[in-house]
Structure 1
């Protein structure tokens, strides 16, 4: 897929992978719009990357997305929707009753899964009308192998992975040329993973892998260890589970 000259909307673009993606997309000649829930962080991102368009918006709020759509339409529309926004709540012990457990799970599902469907639906006709357009849904290595300490987050990403596959095939059936990409990152060094001591890749490496996959039109873009875990889990599922869930995780669950 040709990226130069495309207009790309990145949700959750104020930091981490989203901000790095904005930087690299700009460098290859794309126009970039980023969204975020916090105006101060949007302003900071705009200061760092003056050429981006920054719009305050929350994927879990439908009225925000309708307003975002109207603003984007006035700017000339988009060619690529990159669903990067996601939340991860505090690790929970599934074996012990916790008043926050269901609320946290619902919040993760609302942003990580329903939020993607919500924004996709709003921008679908715009994107389908373009000659060479795409949606990128970000799942996770945890959509292939579940995490003991991030079970509800893993579940939200599994839901998104299945939805992504179904959406891609449905669009083929109705004769649409809109591309649907699934991005499967490994553990990436971001604010979300700051407390994890496991092996991580940089946001720069992550985005380079994404761009390479887009340019090759790979429906499923696995980056870093996500490639290895995908192979191992097919033949040795217990080994893959052990790689994602080292013994130290058991101590966190106690």
Structure 2
């Protein structure tokens, strides 16, 4: 896929992985629109990269999503929708019999899964009208092997992974020119998992891999140890599960 002069919308584009994506897509000659919930973060991103277009929007809010679509349409539309926004909640009480547990799961599902479907549905006709276009959905290594400490987060990413594969096939059957990519990051150096003491990939390396995958039409982009875990889980699922969920983590479940 030729990314030069393409217009890309990056959700959650004002910080972390999204901000790094903004930087690198601009560097290769793409036009970038970012969206996020924090006006302060959007303003900071705009100061760093004056050519970016920043729109305040909460992807989990239906009215915001429709407003975002209308604003993007008025700007001439996009060629690529990068569903980067995501959240993870560490429940204060890890028991499943907990209101906090349910609220956290609902919050994760709304942003990590349902909001992606809403935006894809809103922008799909626009993307279909382009000569070459794409949707990028961000799943996770935890869509292969669930984390007991992040059970509902893992579930949202598994749901998104199945949806992504199905969407790709539906569009293929319909002879659509919209390409559907799945980005599977390992643990990445972001605020979301700052508390986790595991080996982490830098956002810079992750986005370099994403761009390389897009340019090669590599529809499933497994980064870092995610590729290893994919095959390990197919051959030795118990081993893969134990590596994601070491015994020392069990004390947090008691």
Does the pair score TM above 0.5? yes
Matched-pair contact (CA < 8 Å) for 1:12–1:36: yes
Runs of at least 4 residues off by over 2 Å: 91-97
Give the gaps of 5 or more residues in structure 2.
none
Match of 2:7?
A: 7
Matched residue, 2:202: 202
Give the aligned partner of residue 249 of structure 2: 249
What's 1:153 paired with? 153
Superposed displacement of residue 94, structure 1: 5.0
Q: How many residues align?
A: 254
Give the aligned partner of residue 105 of structure 2.
Answer: 105
Aligned pairs for 1:100-179 (under 5 A) are: 100-179=100-179
How far did residue 35 of structure 1 move?
0.4
1:63 and 2:63 are equivalent in the alignment: yes
Give CA-to-partner distance per residue, 1:2-54, whole Å, 9 cap, x none: 11110000000111110000100000000000000011111111112211111
In structure 1, runs of 5+ residues without a counterpart are: none
Residue equivalent to 1:229? 229
Provide the rounded CA distance (Å) in 1 between the counterparts of 2:117 and 2:96. 32
Normalising by structure 2, report the TM-score.
0.97
- 2-structure distance, mates of 1:93, 1:232: 31
Q: Which shows bigger deviation, 86-95 or 179-188?
A: 86-95
1:95 CA displacement: 4.2
How far apart are 1:116 and its partner, in Å?
A: 0.1
Q: Secondary structure at the match of 1:100?
A: helix
SS of 1:186's equivalent in the other structure is coil
